[in-house]
Amino acid sequence: MPLLLIGGMTLALAIPRFNLFNNYVQMLLMYVGINIILATSLNLVNGYMGEFSLAHAGFMAVGAYTSALLTMHVLPPETHAALFPLAVLAGGAVTSLLGLAVAVPSFKVRGDYLAIITLAFLMIVKSALENIDAIGGPRGIPGIPRLTSVPWVFAWTVALVWLIRNFVYSRYGRGVQAIREDEIASDLMSVDTRRVKILAFMLSSFCAGIAGALFAHLLQFISPRVFDVVKTTEVLIMVYLGGIASIGGSILGAATYTLLLEILRPSTVASLLSWLPPGLFDPLNKYVISHLGVLRMIIMPLLLVLVMIFWPRGIMGKREFRMFIPSRDRKAHRPDSSVGGMSNHGVADSP
C-alpha cells in the first residue's frame, strides 16, 4: 500500500512537470480526484450512516467560497502557492461548522424528513450566497487563481480517503453503521448517537468543503448556480452507482461517472474514431456524433436506470476492496469467499 502511494505521488508530481499528458487530461484527472473526495464523503453519511442527505453541494459551496475569498482578498499573491493548503483547510474548517448545524436536526428526524431538511440547508446556503452582493451575489466570483494542481489533488484525495477509511473502521465508524441498521437499538446499546452523528456530518462536510476549495481553484470561477440540487444529484449518482458503504465503490463511481461523461463529448468521440475511413466516418459523424451532445444526456440517465435495475446496490454492492480493510478486521474474515482482493467483510448485507 505505501509503495503504491509513493508511486502515485511521484507520478502525480511528474505529470505536470514533464507534461506527460496534455492539460486537458490533467484537468480531468483533477476532476476525478475532486469527485472521489465528494463521493467518499457523501457515502459516509448516505451510505454508512444510511441517511439521505442532499446538502452536499451546499458544503462544497461554503468551502469553495471561503477558500476563494481568502486567496483573492486576504492572502497576498506571492504567498498563494505556499499558503494554498491553508486556504483549503480553512474552507474545510468553516464547512464543518455548517456540517455541525446540519447534524443537529438529525437527532430527532430521520429518513425523508431529514432529506428535506438537508435540501433546505442547501437552498438556504445557495440563496444566502446569491444575496450577498459583496461576494458577487448571483453572478459569482470570476478570476480565481489556478492553484489546484495534480500533486495537490492527489495528496488531498489520499489524505481524506485515508481519514474517512480510518473513521469508518474505528469505534465511531461502527457506531455510524449501527445507526444505519437500527438507530433505536444502537442507542440502547450505548452508542452515543448524537456524538457519532455530529462527527460523521462534520467529517463529511469537512471533506466536501475541501473538495469545493480545490474545485474553485481549478475552474477559476464559482457562482451559487454551480452548487445547486443538480450538483448534489451528480454526487448522489456517483455514490449509489459505485455502491453505498464502500470506499472502493465511491472511488469507482466517481471515476466512472466523470470519465464517461467526458468521453461522450462529440469532439472526443470524433477524434477517437478519426482513424476510420471517411466513407464510414462521415455518415457516423453526421447522424450520431454531432448529435452526441444531446444524445449523451439521454443515454447517461438511461444507463443509470439500467444499472440500478440490474445492480441495485451499485457496482460494488456493499463490498470493499481488501486493501482498505485494516488487518485486524481481515482476520475475522473467511478466506474462501474473497476473490481477487475483494471481501464481503465488515458490512452486513441487509436490504
- In angstroms, the CA 255 to CA 52 distance is 22
Binding span for another protein by CB under 8 A among 83-91, 191-199, 200-208, 250-258: 250-258
From candidates 135, 163, 260, 284, binder to another protein by CB under 8 A:
260
Residue 75 lies near another protein (rule: CB under 8 A): no
Task: Find all residues with CB under 8 Å of 282, minimum gap 6, and list them.
Answer: none
Site string (10-39) toward another protein, x via CB under 8 A: -----------xxxxx-xx-----------
From candidates 8, 9, 13, 52, binder to another protein by CB under 8 A:
52
Q: How far is the CB of 128 from another protein (least distance, A)?
A: 6
Looking at the DSSP bridge assignments, the partners of residue 339 are: 342
Binding span for another protein by CB under 8 A among 83-91, 113-121, 148-156, 324-332: 113-121
- In angstroms, the CA 59 to CA 166 distance is 22
Binding span for another protein by CB under 8 A among 84-92, 117-125, 162-170, 323-331: 117-125
280 neighbors 290 (Cβ within 8 angstroms): no
Q: Is 295 helix (H, G, I), strand (E, B) or coil?
A: helix
Task: Find all residues with CB under 8 Å of 161, minimum gap 6, and list them.
Answer: 36, 37, 40, 247, 251
Residue 229 lies near another protein (rule: CB under 8 A): yes
For another protein, which is the closer residue by CB, 159 or 272? 272
Residue 76 lies near another protein (rule: CB under 8 A): no
- In angstroms, the CA 341 to CA 351 distance is 24
The letter for the amino acid at 143 is G
DSSP 20: -
Task: Find all residues with CB under 8 Å of 33, minimum gap 6, and list them.
Answer: 153, 154, 156, 157, 214
Beta strands 221-222 and 320-321 are unpaired
For another protein, which is the closer residue by CB, 89 or 186? 186
Binding span for another protein by CB under 8 A among 36-44, 82-90, 92-100, 254-262: 254-262
From candidates 10, 233, 280, 288, binder to another protein by CB under 8 A:
233
Residues 137-166 within binding reach of another protein (CB under 8 A): 137-140, 142-143, 146
Residue 255 lies near another protein (rule: CB under 8 A): yes
Phi/psi at 339 (nearest 5 deg)? -130, 130
Residues 285-344 within binding reach of another protein (CB under 8 A): 291, 293-295, 297-298, 300-302, 304-305, 308-309, 312-313, 315, 339-340, 342
